[in-house]
Chain A
């Protein structure tokens, strides 16, 4: 498995190809559409992260020393960002995630979409990913 740094570099590189915001969004929409289907049965209130605008469902499991994240949203661009996050963080050890600074999000210019002040589900998703990593990183 390639390292978390390499995956992040690839993501940042993919994004740097787009000068225009709308192209970035088109790419995210495409990623969102390709996101692995999230079982309807997992769309429970416990997994729901309620934001002001879109809803995000996050399922976390811990297998063979690795954290597995699955997620979904009712909005497509958010789903695309979820896909990026899962690509980077799912299947990693708690140590890898806990040591990460999540700064690649800023490098791809999506900080505003993920800002906690926007009360979005994505910001909560990131803090949940972090919390899970810290919890299992013993």
Chain B
């Protein structure tokens, strides 16, 4: 790939116009755009290989199964899993985290009333609510690992939070609001020594960091395909095999059984044990071409320039508060959540939208964090490697214009 134009041409949505203006897509942390190779794979699967997986004998089903299982192998390789049997396909990070929370909750000899779960303060609702539901079901206690003013997790507080009743620690690799890379390795090291299992929300992390789950030392890692250039409705749960083996099924249905009898049923082994019902057969195979893009993008330095530019320019805007301020630039991904005094995030987002800029606004599925920083909401601009310096400059100019309108 020689130029940014050629790169952008691989992502058809970039040529879409909104309100007769070129689309400036800065909502990549919510959903990334899809490259042609992903769209082509999805189309190929839909137009040629629609069939249920694993069970049927016919040729089409065989091919569909092969593509699906190849994606599992590709996923294992992409995140450094020991075996593809540790890869469970879900509809996204949310389902993956709910699966862990439910199934761990029902695992024999694991949780007792009064046990404790530690959750990061900057978590997405998807890494809070499954644990709150579990805590309610099993009478557990939730403790919060706070973030500091700059958006760094206060991991020095971990020792005072972990007790001999602590069973789980649930942390995002990177918060979807703050964009600061958390010291997940340190956290999982500490937790492992204390017998605490770590569950990582990798929805943002897997996009921006090279993930090796073995090196990370976590017990579970969850991520979504739709933020990683793959089809929507795809997600991955990685878990350590010995835990997955012990965990009971999350949903019952087709595909996940070994034998079904009125007197009682037995279940398939992992990963099928956790994949009840018809899977996303057109979507999952798009993970393979998506991983290729994700790997290619790691060699793209352009985003560094955008990061430098915005970290320098945004704080100069009067009344602007940036959330997730890095002490070192490499701690931060190109994601900028901000609030401006006297300007409502909804107004800003509405005006930016009409200028062709897609940003996220509101509470960003992190209401407790909004409360922590004393704001009703923020706007968030999140960049991908197909975004340009010109787009970053247009964003700043447009933001300034919007603020002038709202004065």
A residues neighboring B (CB under 8 Å): 21-22, 25-26, 29, 52-55, 74-78, 113
Contacts and interface: CB of A to CB of B under 8 A. Distances in A.
Interface string B343-374: 01111011100110000011100000000000
Given A29-B406, A54-B344, A113 B355 contact: no
B133 interface: no
Contacts of A75: 344-347
Contact of A22 (B344, B345, B346, B351): B351
Given A53-B377, A76-B344, A22 B350 contact: no
10 contacts: A21-B19, A22-B354, A22-B355, A25-B354, A29-B347, A53-B349, A53-B377, A54-B344, A54-B346, A55-B376
B40 interface: no
A81 to B, nearest CB: 11
B346 A53 contact: yes
Contacts of B405: 22, 25-26, 29
Nearest to B376: A74
Contacts of B351: 22, 25, 77
Which of B347, B350, B354 counts the most chain A CB atoms within 10 A?
B347
Interface in B314-361: 344-347, 349-351, 354-355, 361
Given A22-B405, A53-B361, A53-B377, A77 B354 contact: no
Nearest to A32: B347
Interface of B: 19, 344-347, 349-351, 354-355, 361-363, 376-377, 405-406
A53 B345 contact: yes
A113 B344 contact: no
Given A53-B362, A74-B344, A25 B376 contact: no
Contacts of B362: 52-53
B350 to A, nearest CB: 5
A26 B344 CA distance: 15
A133 B346 CA distance: 29
Q: Is the interface of A mostly helix, strand, loop or mixed?
A: helix
Contacts of A26: 405
A78 B346 contact: yes
A29 B404 CA distance: 11
A78 B347 CA distance: 8
A25 B350 CA distance: 9
A25 B344 CA distance: 14
State the 6 A-B residue pairs at the shortest beta-carbon distance, nearest first.
A75-B344, A21-B354, A53-B346, A75-B346, A54-B346, A53-B362
Nearest to A51: B346
A26 B361 CA distance: 20
Contacts of B361: 53
B406 A76 contact: yes
Contacts of A52: 362-363
B377 to A, nearest CB: 6
A33 to B, nearest CB: 10
Contacts of B345: 53, 75
Contacts of A22: 351, 354-355, 405
Given A22-B405, A29-B405, A53-B377, A77 B350 contact: yes
Nearest to A24: B354
A29 B344 CA distance: 12
B339 to A, nearest CB: 13
Which of A52, A75, A78 counts the most chain B CB atoms within 10 A?
A75
A96 B387 CA distance: 51
A75 B405 CA distance: 13
B79 to A, nearest CB: 33
Contacts of A77: 346-347, 350-351
A18 B268 CA distance: 64
A40 B347 CA distance: 22
Nearest to B350: A77
Contacts of A55: 376
Contacts of A25: 350-351, 354, 405
A113 to B, nearest CB: 7
Contacts of A21: 19, 354
Which of B350, B361, B363 counts the most chain A CB atoms within 10 A?
B350
Nearest to B351: A25
Which of A22, A53, A78 counts the most chain B CB atoms within 10 A?
A53
Nearest to B342: A76
A51 to B, nearest CB: 8
A129 to B, nearest CB: 21
A52 B376 CA distance: 10
Contacts of B346: 53-54, 75, 77-78
